[in-house]
Amino acid sequence: MPKELLGTYFNYSFPEPQYLGAKFIHRGWIAQYIPQEVHTVLDAFAGSQSIAYMMKQLGKRVITNDFMSFCNQAGMAMIENKNVILTAQDLDILFSANRDPLLFNLMEQLFSGLFFQRNEAAFLDSFRSNVSLLVHPLKQALALTIMCRSMTRKVTMGHFAHTQALNYAENPERIKRNRSLVRPIKDIFLDLLPKYNAAIFDNECDNLSYNENILDLIPRLEGVDLVYFDPPYCNSHADYQSFYHLLETYVEYWKDKSFVNGTKRYEPKRFSGFDKTTEAVGNLEKMFELADNIPIWLISYNDRSFPDIKTMLGMIEKFRHVIVERKIYNAGRGGKGSVAGSSEVLFVCSKK
């Protein structure tokens, strides 16, 4: 983070995410393009919440949104939350016996022998059964957020679009690189808990987290000074519902879905509008039109995505003056086109 941006709230640290396309490593670069006089910001596709958190650190009023429920829970826990943490008493509740084994058995039924050993899947069900017993919805959100992060630590690639998790846990070389493969989820949760508790702070703004399709949300918002768009990059890991289906299943705890393919992904998926090449261009154009009343746009993109940079620029220039900033990847980070030789692109857009 550039020195000139360091302030009171940068004493707090966002727990490093393991999320495809997360802009965590770019947050200092992006922060340079957020004017000091901006008060209210919207993170439209918040994902891991790392950029929304950076905006909160800058002292902005943050409205964060993602159409995935587990991302919204992270927004509630890390952005909306001012001072609610998990205590030892909360842990006693969360780690108590399954309060209804006939109702809370989804993880054991679906994912035993696939992503988790049966006893670990049963532990996840038990934990989930007790989340609603926590007295504050922000405590519930924080508990779910930390547990979702704990589950991603149990798979080498941090997502659930493969079926090799338990095989990796028997591979000494992979274990050497990621000890969490063979650690109990409860232990991972307890290791992460202090980092998440320490990350909670009040920036003296009333921040909000939404769980909506951005096309439905933007028309209802007023007084937004800047919007940050980080849409799925088609042709580059755009289908987050396939990669993170397990976390969404866990948070929603669905009993009325079909679970398909080798990974037991839920079906039907929610409508995104931004993850298919047949829909992306039309919905990006619609989104820009709906956001025309927001003075400043920052748009993260990648030069290997669909639509291509020239097409994106043409769409944006109908509404805004645009400066294109680039940051070249020298090494692959995985996900969202971030491979060596590609460029992370930031469209800095101002009113005509």
Q: Are 253 and 74 spatial neighbours (Cβ–Cβ below 8 Å)?
A: no
The more confidently predicted of residues 170 and 220 is 220
Confidence (pLDDT) at 341? 52
Mean pLDDT of 286-311: 93
96 torsion bin: left (phi>0), alpha (psi -120 to 50), beta (else): beta
Confidence (pLDDT) at 332? 46
Summarised one tens digit per residue, pLDDT across range 191-225 is 999 999 999 999 999 999 999 999 999 999 999 99
Summarised one tens digit per residue, pLDDT across range 115-164 is 999 999 999 999 999 999 999 999 999 999 999 999 999 987 789 998 98
Confidence (pLDDT) at 176? 85
Under the banding of pLDDT at 50, 70 and 90, the label for residue 337 is very low
Mean pLDDT of 21-28: 87
Would the pLDDT of 288 be above 70?
yes
108 vs 249: CA distance, rounded Å: 12
For 46, 214, 260, 338, the CA distances from 242, given in Å and listed in that order, are: 17, 20, 11, 19
Confidence (pLDDT) at 330? 55
Confidence (pLDDT) at 339? 54
16-25, 274-283, 284-293: range with lowest mean pLDDT:
16-25
Would the pLDDT of 236 be above 70?
no
Under the banding of pLDDT at 50, 70 and 90, the label for residue 21 is confident
Domain count, the chain: 1
Confidence (pLDDT) at 101? 96
Q: Which of 82, 32, 51, 44 is nearest to 286 (CA)?
A: 44
Confidence (pLDDT) at 271? 87
The more confidently predicted of residues 327 and 147 is 147
The alpha carbon dihedral of 310, 311, 314, 316 has a sign of negative
Q: Which of 181, 177, 151, 176 is nearest to 165 (CA)?
A: 181
The more confidently predicted of residues 85 and 178 is 85
Mean pLDDT of 89-95: 98
Confidence (pLDDT) at 222? 96
H/E/C letters for each residue in the chain? CCHHHCCHHHHCCCCCCCCCCCCHHHHHHHHCCCCCCCCEEEECCCCCCHHHHHHHHCCCEEEEECCCHHHHHHHHHHHHCCCCCCCHHHHHHHCCCCCCCCCCCHHHHHHECCCECHHHHHHHHHHHHHHCCCCCHHHHHHHHHHHHHHHHHCCCCCCCCCCCHHHHCCCHHHHHHCHHHHCCHHHHHHHHHHHHHHHCCCCCCCCEEECCCHHHHHHHCCCCCEEEECCCCECCCCCHHHHCHHHHHHHHCCCCCEEECCCCEEECCCCCCCCCHHHHHHHHHHHHHHCCCCCEEEEEEECCCECCHHHHHHHHCCCEEEEEEEEECCCCCCCCCCCCCCEEEEEEEEEC
Task: Residue 324: give its domain's CATH number.
Answer: 3.40.50.150
Which residue range is the domain that position 263 belongs to?
3-351
